[in-house]
Amino acid sequence: MITISSVLITDDVHPLLVEGLKAMGYAVVYRPDITWSEVKSIIGDFGGIVVNTKTKMTREMMEAGSKLKFIARLGSGLDIIDLEEAKTRGIAVLRSPEGNANAVAEHAIGMILAYNNKMLQGDREVRNFIWQREKNRGKELENSTVGIVGFGHVGSRLAEKLTGLNVKVLVYDKYRQQISGQFPFVNEVSYERLLEASDYISFHVPLTQETLYMMCKATFEKCKPGAVIINTSRGKVVRMTDLLEALEGSLIGGACLDVFENENPATMTPEERKLYQRLYERNDVILTPHVAGWTVESKRKIAEVLLDKIAALG
């Protein structure tokens, strides 16, 4: 039995989460605009904390939060939490990938379709009274091969959605085998084979030492010519300098990115700003600001998932 008297919520959440926690008997402090240093100064008063990417749960933070019994993550990525430290301290770590898996899968498909049909380029041109139909001739997704790296909540949901688009789906997941038994519409292959055969390569993996820079110079060189890289997982899964080199050297055809190595322009070095400027100037990339899992529906679903998991703590 875990006794938790108060919970600190450090980011914007659906009202359902606040109301649900109160209904369970917790005292809730809702501070969506709180800074990391402010969290550190008051965390010692709380038995539970709800966090998103801005509030990294480091060893230092957990030392300050001596009463913590759980850390609840809005979304799926656990790279913001020192898991070993949490385990040592007996702090339960909860996450909610079930809540935004559908949103991320839809976003990935949306990016592919927008890329294929040159929608962003066409939109910019029409707004400037430029009407060039042939220049904006699209490409159909049907009969192509989509490679999915990581077959957890999001990867499997993406595969399910692709079944209606008449594409071949290849899957690589180091920690999940015999996938085709449950998902007969996918083909399990090695990572190298997926790179060689896929027209589109979509990443749905957590950031770990194994997935850090899975896409780098060596792996870009193994890609099928013209392949499009889709990353809605974590920015450091793809090394940005190598991605630009692959684009500029025509090793790949394009990229759709929702996540980046540095997602805070205010902290970019002059070298980083130049790097990203080169990326921003390209017409063969589609970029969004880490919002793949950020939908009206997912906000509520994440709240529902976390409430269930917090309730299960006892």
Task: Look at the alpha carbons of 212, 218, 223, 227 in this order and tell me if their dihedral is positive or negative.
Answer: positive
The three-state secondary structure class of 153 is helix
Give CA–CA dist 235/257, Å, rounded.
8
Give CA–CA dist 47/36, Å, rounded.
17
Give CA–CA dist 67/36, Å, rounded.
18
Residue among 255, 187, 189, 252 at smallest CA distance from 219: 252
Structural tokens at position 245: 């080199």
Could you count the other beta carbons within 10 Å of the beta carbon of residue 290? 15
Facing residues of 228 across strands? 200, 254
Catalytic center residues: 234, 263, 290
DSSP class of 238:
B
Any residues with CB less than 8 A from the CB of 218 and at least 6 apart, and which?
none
H or E stretch at 111 = helix 97-116
CA angle 201/202/205 to nearest 5° reads 130
Any residues with CB less than 8 A from the CB of 270 and at least 6 apart, and which?
none
